[in-house]
Structure 1
């Protein structure tokens, strides 16, 4: 009897969900898209820049590199290796005390952006380092022999030489940050993840859930297409 009641209850909930009022949901979806874009773009701006700097430092302090420093490299390498494998949902919980101190709250979009930026910085740094390592050392040595400073070599030789792969790496990073923004819904960060869970999954409405999924897929495809075009253009110019 209980099984029948449970099935009837689920069927009833699904039937109610099937009549979702999109006049109410549409503005909520638009707000969720805006929140997702805010979280992703701000995180990429902060974490992408700081990660670029940290990645250059990781590359530069490697043995035999521009300004090698084994001690600094080992410390940064261990730090990145400790933080990067942590599942983001656990990282959110672990960062909560620090988030409260920095942001003043652990709930909302701003509270989600802080841990997202930290994780983005760490992930970006490793992506940047890995894409700088293959750069031809002969080009760097040629610039150094001409009297170019370390900063000049980084700005005019190192990064331009790796620009194509870096563009593709940042496109990959966009996908990762978009995933993080979806998980941020668990702490009330808003966005498409929260919309899909609160108005789709919890109310048995697959239309709502898939609406959020389709929008995220479109965002990823658009960014990847743009990144591919830019990377192709850069690589063609370098040949």
Structure 2
């Protein structure tokens, strides 16, 4: 099963991706996670990526495409995938089509989690991450028991540079360039719009209906 997960930052893609992976057994391929691992590595590529991520700008297509191409070569991706964060432009979508044509593995569905922008701004600026274990919290929706401290491991919580108000606004503006993708996949009959402002369980219920239909 080859599935693409799309939506603006803060739409809840990460939460739904975890559930999809657990329930349907396909690996979650997130360009965001791959980018952050590269940044942590301190390599030349990582340093280049950091400048884009910290400012909220989109990573250039040629860099993103190469990262994804390398990920598809890994063993777990041979049985299917949930692609999150790619493609974000029509150029990337065309590059993905070429890659998947070569692999003879067409896209089965594109899940579009739709959330209004004012809701996204509130969601993203309140997000906090544990420096130690990576657990995610929210100052409003999922606060830790003790402010600034991870419930799971006691690590320090921090706000990512790309979650500040200024960076989030830039990210949302940049992601408007992804709008043509929605029409691109809708015109191909692959797009399934999921309302992301519903309770998390209801969002996953709607997602599961689509994926179960694909499985047959």
- TM-score (ref. length: structure 2): 0.26
Higher helix share: 1
Higher strand share: 2
Larger-gyration structure (1/2): 1
TM-score, L = length of structure 1: 0.25
